[in-house]
Chains A and B, each alone.
Chain A
Amino acid sequence: MIKFILKGIIRDRSRSLFPVLTVLLGVALTVLGYCYFSGVMTSWIQTSAKFESGHMKIMSRAYAENADQMPNDLAFIGVKNLMADLKKDFPDLIYAQRIRFGGLFDIPDEQGETKAQGPLAGLAVDLLSEESPEREMLNLENAVVRGRLPEKQGEILISDDFARRLDIQPGQTSTLISSTMYGNMATANFIVVGMLHFGITALDRGMMLADLADIRSSLDMEDAAGEILVFFDDFVYQEDAAERIAEAFNAKYSDDEEEFSPVMETLRGQGGMADYMAMVNQFMGVMIFSFIAVMSIVLWNAGLMGSLRRYGEIGVRLAMGEDKGHLYRSLITESLVIGVIGSILGTALGLAFAYYLQAKGINLGNMMQSASMVINDVIRAKVTPISYVIGFIPGLIATFIGTSISGLGIYKRQTSQLMKELEV
């Protein structure tokens, strides 16, 4: 019987072509959409991890509570001891101490008068020491578009966009006006040796990247760090492992009563991240549901048209002694075969586009001018194992629903009434 159905589908293009195309299109869009969002998520997680959240992040409890305000007055003090302990307790992890700071950037002219001035977001990382993971992690080699990397104390990098706005050239001396950990005003001179372009709008608007030791001394933060970012040594985030480590760390080092005791948060646990992930999942759900709804309606109507065209066949099959239920099921089987074919082709098409977008990427830089999210301007789709199967959900459900509804007429009506209508 299945063979009989298959022959019908293959030989009768008008029976299969339109439904297959419908399913193909819906499935391809679902797969592409899914890969696109996977790409967004992956890229966003990677970028966030590197620049903001680490796979895990250690802060003082107080700092953690106000993390979005860069509260250096609440920074954790006693980094050296803590680092020594961490390297004993969790030797396989990679650590990166960071200080975030805000400030005014001031460019003096020859007389020492202000020539240009602008606010910027500062990030201090270990730029100079041999064993620092930062240069590689932040991809600085490639991000420096003019000038060079800092080679000694007192040298900094700034965003190229910012530099162009303020007409700053490599080699220029500049002054940072900020405040110390204890709330006093602090000024420090630096030489701008290179300009940065990360391709991440939120960072490229106005950022200063300085060496940790320089900022510690300028802002009076000896042995302090706002944040210690912690990474798995293969740079792949693993939710479960991260949670286990954070739990172990907090059990040992954190003290609920002591607001300057350190606390470790996982990437997912940090501000908004979980919400955002949930939102993306929800969005995927809505998208798949919409495709199911739209495709079902289209296929329902296609099924109605198909059964009009095939009235003769339906009548003959009933007359030959096929049970209505059997006929109904065979129509559904037929459509599911079509659904499978459409889903396979649609998945192939969707994946082809997704692989293309994975290799090429789409530049969304213009849409992100006001974004504060740390995310790459170039979004690359990401093909995951789920990409290969996700399309089958709307593909098969929609064909099933569409045909079930359109076939219901056959199932519900009296056989004789059908025969009459069929004018067999």
Chain B
Amino acid sequence: MENSFLIKTQDLVKTYPMGHTKIFALNGVNLNFRPGEFAGLVGPSGSGKTTFLNIVGSLDSPTSGSAVVMGKKIEDLSHKQAAWLRNQNIGFIFQTFNLLPVYTVYENVEFTLLLLKMSAEERKDKVMQALEWVKLADRAKSKPAQLSGGQSQRVAVARAIVKEPSIILADEPTANLDAENSFNILDTMEELNRELGTTFIFATHDEKVIKYLRRKITLVDGKVAKDEALEQKKVKGGNQ
């Protein structure tokens, strides 16, 4: 059933000019995602993982082919419409946590709701809820500089989840974290996936992340080399 896909790409191609030739960052990718998936793109550096997430996240548009996200054709969206799609439906988590240093934890999480023009009361409820999800409600007034790396990434997760988007795109979210914090954050994300039904798509080459995935898509040179469903191998609470 066509409509049951949250994300659907067809012959997705993205090229970048390189001198006189061009490189194919994505070279005909057909991938569909259903609501509630906990999936990951894996593959060596340069295989096109970030490019795929950027297109699906409406930060970039394909050179050819099509990407339909929540019923919207990415290639047809104006800047404004793309921003609107991101704002409403998509949360991003980055390798570098990218918290805004001058704002408190609370304000960092609140920002995305400001863009949604939500009332102050509603914002407060949602922000505190999100901070509780990531177990940082007691650090609401802290500045990012006062947080550890693990805590920072949890704030980033709260920031992505606070608007309860349908999709969260996480590009190498554990690359700057130690093992314990990596498992911590993955536990949190898996819990959110289960409780809120949020679709998570990772780009990673971290084995720790792969252990959590229920679907593993291997990209090589911009092509899908393998797309497999995984057994849950991990043991909750951190398996070293």
Partner of A319, one of B80, B92, B103: B92
Question: Count of B residues near A, CB < 8 Å?
Answer: 29
Partner of B100, one of A313, A414, A419, A424: A313
State how many angstroms separate the Cβ of B12 from the closest Cβ of chain A.
14
* Interface presence of B147 (CB below 8 A): no
Within 8 A of B (CB), among A301-345: 312-313, 315-326
Asked if A424 and B96 make an inter-chain contact with CB atoms under 8 angstroms apart, the answer reads: yes
* Interface presence of A12 (CB below 8 A): yes
Contacts known (A312-B96, A316-B98); A321 close to B83, Cβ less than 8 A = yes
Asked if A321 and B115 make an inter-chain contact with CB atoms under 8 angstroms apart, the answer reads: yes
Q: How far, in angstroms, from A255 to B59 measured CA to CA in the complex?
A: 82
**Known interface pairs A7-B103, A319-B57; 7 further A-B residue pairs with C-beta atoms within 8 A, sorted by A's residue number:** A1-B114, A7-B102, A320-B87, A321-B88, A322-B83, A416-B61, A424-B94
Contacts known (A7-B102, A315-B98, A415-B79); A321 close to B59, Cβ less than 8 A = no
* Interface presence of B54 (CB below 8 A): yes
Question: Count of A residues near B, CB < 8 Å?
Answer: 27
Partner of B98, one of A4, A323, A326, A424: A424
Residue of B nearest to A323 (CB): B83
Contacts known (A4-B107, A313-B100, A419-B59); A321 close to B94, Cβ less than 8 A = no
Query: How would residues 83 to 113 of chain B score, 1 for a CB under 8 Å from any chain A CB and 0 otherwise?
Result: 1111110101010101011110001000110
Contacts known (A319-B86, A424-B96); A4 close to B111, Cβ less than 8 A = yes
State how many angstroms separate the Cβ of B49 from the closest Cβ of chain A.
14
* Interface presence of A409 (CB below 8 A): no
Q: Which of B59, B61, B103, B107 has the most CB of A within 10 A?
A: B59
* Interface presence of A11 (CB below 8 A): yes
Query: How would residues 406 to 421 of chain A score, 1 for a CB under 8 Å from any chain B CB and 0 otherwise?
Result: 0000000011100100
* Interface presence of A8 (CB below 8 A): yes
- Set of chain B residues within 8 Å of A419, measured between Cβ atoms: 54, 59-60
Query: How would residues 62 to 76 of chain B score, 1 for a CB under 8 Å from any chain A CB and 0 otherwise?
Result: 000000000000000
* Interface presence of B82 (CB below 8 A): yes
Asked if B59 and A318 make an inter-chain contact with CB atoms under 8 angstroms apart, the answer reads: yes
Within 8 A of B (CB), among A29-80: none
Residue of B nearest to A310 (CB): B100
* Interface presence of B159 (CB below 8 A): yes
24 inter-chain pairs at a CB distance below 8 angstroms, sorted by A residue, are A4-B103, A7-B103, A7-B107, A8-B103, A15-B102, A316-B94, A316-B100, A317-B111, A319-B57, A319-B92, A320-B159, A321-B83, A322-B83, A322-B87, A322-B115, A323-B79, A323-B84, A326-B83, A414-B60, A415-B79, A416-B54, A419-B54, A424-B94, A424-B98
